[in-house]
Amino acid sequence: MGRYIVKRIIAGLITMFVLTTVTFFLMHAIPGGPFSPAEERKVPKQVMEKIEEKYGLNDPIPVQYLNYLKNLAQGDFGLSFKQRDMTVNELIEQGFPVSAKVGSIAIIVALLVGIPLGITSAIKRGKWADWLAMIIATVGISIPSFVLSVLMLFLFAVVLKLLPTFGLTTWQHYILPVAGLSFGPIAYIARLMRSSMLEVMRYDYIRTARAKGVHELKVICKHALKNAIIPIVTYLGPLVAILLTGSFVIERIFSIPGIGRDFVTGISDRDYSVILGMTVFFGAFIVVANIIVDVLYAVIDRRVKMDE
Amino acid sequence: MIHTARMKEREDGPFYPGDASDLPDDLFEKLDESDRQDNEEITRPSKSYWQDAWARFRKDPLAMIGLCVIVIMAIAAIFGPIFSEYTYDGQNLENGNQPPSGEHWFGTDKFGRDIFVRTLYGARISLLIGFVAAAINMVIGIVYGGISGYFGGRVDMLLMRVVDIMIGVPDLLYIILVMMFLGNSIQSILIALCLTSWIGTARIVRSQVVTLKHQEYALAARSIGSSNLRILFKHLIPNSIGPIIVTVTFLVPSAIFSEAFLSFLGIGIQVPIASWGTLVNDAIPTLFTQPYQMLFPALAISVTMFALNFIGDGLRDALDPRLKK
């Protein structure tokens, strides 16, 4: 167990190193420095030098790279080029709690809706409940989250005027963003749960339980669910990644002040230090989430060989 | 040898086995032709793998509808704009924000550009990116996964570690970075998509090749002196083509999704070229006043994604019946 975790952590560190290096050199190889508009405005040379010194841009690139890694190891993601006197750390500190809140509600909703939907669908296989659940699942898998969110925004906020459109002040404000984020995962979880449930229900031990006269509801909830739910755990890692990339568009559509929106603003402002810092942060977040999920999976399912 | 005679059943008791030459001729009866063993010969013409798959695919109504939708959309995307008097970038400011009418089927945007023609152009770009990206990724995935699975050992270990490192991070992050570096154009989107999307195909190909390479026909090919590459590409890959095609089919909608996603974020297709992602994005500020500007491109993406997913499901059931739910 310990060896497995250490192995996963080393692999995660390598992934992070590659991601950081690739991002750093890509961001520094983009033609035109981060302050090139200032050059066009004929900023005096001394001022430019002062600026470059402040941001550490006058060193050769390899030195800048080593400095960046050194700062990163101390948890310092650097300064924003475009938002004056803002560090990337401050942006993350402000935005992450907001994104994490919306994201964790979305995870809970996805699990609470997706799992029962999949179970119902499996038990009522071929009946109308199964059809309905699978239609919902197909819609969720086919329609991109940003299209679905804009359509929902139009339907519930513009036509029906039931829900607020922008911001995050009351609980009603959470409904549309959470729905937009979790619809795709709900669909995926429902499909996964359905097929895994159908498989488990064919096992001998389920027949044994039924033969003993155990109530059908108990067979499903106690005996079948325990094994059928295991594949869902493996989906939790990708789920975190989906919610993260989903937050780029959802936070933009609903004007939510989270890190997803900051990242997209960074992209359109060409704020390379923010893009670099946030990418590294996102990468680290996903890598850690994946390690936790994999270890959790190995703990839950004893059939998984740790040495693999 | 075909037996044309069999032993009569003896009325006077059980038959005792012995030397056949002791037996009198009247013990045997002649068989009529219907009892000949060659009546087990296959009478129907044999079906190839593809004919069989097509027969299964054709019976799936959703997959057939999906196929028709994509064919119609492709034809409309290729030829539609030729017959329209409007172009995707032709502005007419006096005619801005017009609702749908006989003149402009889907209405016009704030610059007076015809949204119907722009949506058709979006279809061109989306379908082009979807199919080209899937084709390139299939080639990369087959070569990478094939080499990794066939040669095994250190090669496999090295190639799979690279894959592990890459899938540690969501591919959209890599795609966004590469797009920032290459700038907004169709070529950069294709390059960005081809950097990461082959991984799924490569893993499928690898697992197929690993299981197939110890089969007798691979050994037979090797024993008559076939080269490694010949065994891999002439024997192993064709035998795993079903799962490969299924994986690649799902790459098409995911490439279209990525393009729309990037364009929606403003780092995909460059203005004034229209893509479904940019059309939806452009329509957000006017969602409250001119909702139709968003509705048609959004419908176009959704219908296409539905169709492609249905085709993918149908192909999976047809080509790889083991995966059938």
Residue with the bigger pLDDT between B241 and B287: it is B241
Q: Is the separation of the CB atoms in A4 and A295 below 8 Å?
A: yes
Give the model's pLDDT for residue B136: 93
Q: Which of A144, A241, A283 sits opposite B260 (nearest CB)?
A: A144
Mutate to test the interface with B, among A13, A130, A142 (most CBs of B within 10 A): A142
* Interface-testing mutation among B160, B169, B275, with chain A (most A C-beta atoms within 10 A): B169
User: Per DSSP, what are the bridge partners of residue B5?
Assistant: B30
On the 0-12 / 13-18 / 19+ scale of CB atoms within 10 A, B102 is: exposed
Q: Please list the ranges in chain A whose pLDDT falls under 50.
A: 307-308
Nearest CA in chain B to A13: B165
**CA atoms of B214 and B232, how far apart (whole Å):** 12
Say which of B164, B301, B309 has its CB closest to residue A141: B309
Chain B residues lying within 8 Å of A287, measured CB to CB: 168-169
pLDDT of residue A63: 82
Give the pTM: 0.79
The pLDDT > 70 percentage for chain B reads 81
Cα angle value B68/B71/B75 (rounded, 5°): 140
Nearest chain B residue to A27, by CA: B181
Res A111: pLDDT: 93
Pairwise CB contact (< 8 Å): A150 & B306: no
Kindly identify which residue of chain B lies nearest to residue A154, measuring between CA atoms.
Answer: B287
Q: Is A138's CB within 8 Å of B325's CB? A: no
User: Do A142 and B306 count as a contact with CB atoms less than 8 A apart?
Assistant: yes
Which pLDDT value is given to residue B39?
Answer: 62
The size of chain B, in residues, is 325
Residue contact B168–A253, C-beta within 8 A: no
Give the pLDDT band of residue B323 (cuts 50, 70, 90). Answer: low
Partner residue opposite A26 with nearest CB, options B165, B181, B280: B181
Mean pLDDT of B266-273: 77
Choice between A44 and B198, residue whose per-residue pLDDT is larger: B198
Smallest Cα distance from A231 to chain B, Å: 16
Q: How far apart are CA A301 and CA A293, in angstroms?
A: 12
Strand partners, B316: none
**What are B22-46's pLDDT values in tens digits?**
677 777 777 676 666 666 666 777 7
Place of tokens 């991070």: B169
| DSSP 3-state of B88 | coil
**Residue A138 Cα, gap to closest chain B Cα (Å):** 8
Q: Chains A, B: CB contacts under 8 A, how many?
A: 110
Q: How far apart (Å, rounded) are the C-alpha atoms in residues B315 and B324? A: 10
pLDDT of residue A308: 44
The Cα of B226 is separated from the nearest Cα of chain A by a number of Å equal to 33
Question: What CA–CA distance (Å, rounded) separates B218 from B204?
Answer: 19
Q: With contacts defined as CB-CB under 8 Å, which chain B residues touch A17?
A: none
Q: Report CB contact under 8 Å: A15, B288.
A: no
CA distance B11 to B24: 15
Which pLDDT tens digit goes with each residue over B83-113?
776 776 666 666 666 777 766 667 777 776 7
Of the listed ranges A194-203, B9-18, B59-68, B216-225, the one predicted with least confidence? B9-18
Report the residue of chain B nearest A12, measured CA to CA. Answer: B168
Q: Please tell me which residue of chain B has the smallest CA distance to A135.
A: B306
CB-based contact B177 A14, cutoff 8 Å: no
